[in-house]
Amino acid sequence: MIGNVTVRRVGADEVSACLEALADVLIDCVEGGASVSFMLPISRETALTFWRGVAEGVGRGERALLIAEDGHGEIVGTVQLITAQPENQPHRADVAKMLVHRKARRRGIAQHLMDEIDRTARKEKKSVLVLDTVTGGDAERLYQRAGWQRVGNVPNYALMPDGAFCSTTFYCKQL
């Protein structure tokens, strides 16, 4: 727990109860300019469809979903560990959709989520983690402070929500 924020893993039996709140966080992040696979304008149905797919993956044991809740039980952040990997990579996982609602930023929530993703990965017997982020974005500092190693970047890899090209930097972490 950090301040009045708790980070926990959401079980398959409770993911559906979180869908609306997770959609709120995703929509807020995209509307705030985060390049996390979605374009503006993002509809509520698009966000809910995405989270329903995540819920299915959690139910199949293909990913772990972590949430950060404030003192009122409101979801203010989330991150995922994608554990389903090819047969020759059973030791690896991808970290995805690290999102913190704009109203909850600058309180250490992202760092807390990343610390918990490390613990979750170890429990899942994963020793190599991989993620990508917008080159030059605020998240790069977070990942570097958390011990992630920059692997390289790809120019014009993705689009920002407004349609502008952005480079993407790839990171890895050995646990």
**Domains contained in the chain, CATH given:** 6-126 (3.40.630.30)
pLDDT score at 59: 97
Q: Quote the mean pLDDT of the chain.
A: 97
The 10s digit of each residue's pLDDT in 52-65 is: 999 999 999 999 99
Question: What does the alpha-carbon distance between residue 134 and residue 164 come to, in Å, rounded to a whole number?
Answer: 12
Length of the chain: 175
- Which 3 state secondary structure label does DSSP give 90? coil
The pTM for the full model equals 0.96
The 10s digit of each residue's pLDDT in 80-117 is: 999 999 999 999 999 999 999 999 999 999 999 999 99
Q: What is the DSSP letter of 175?
A: -
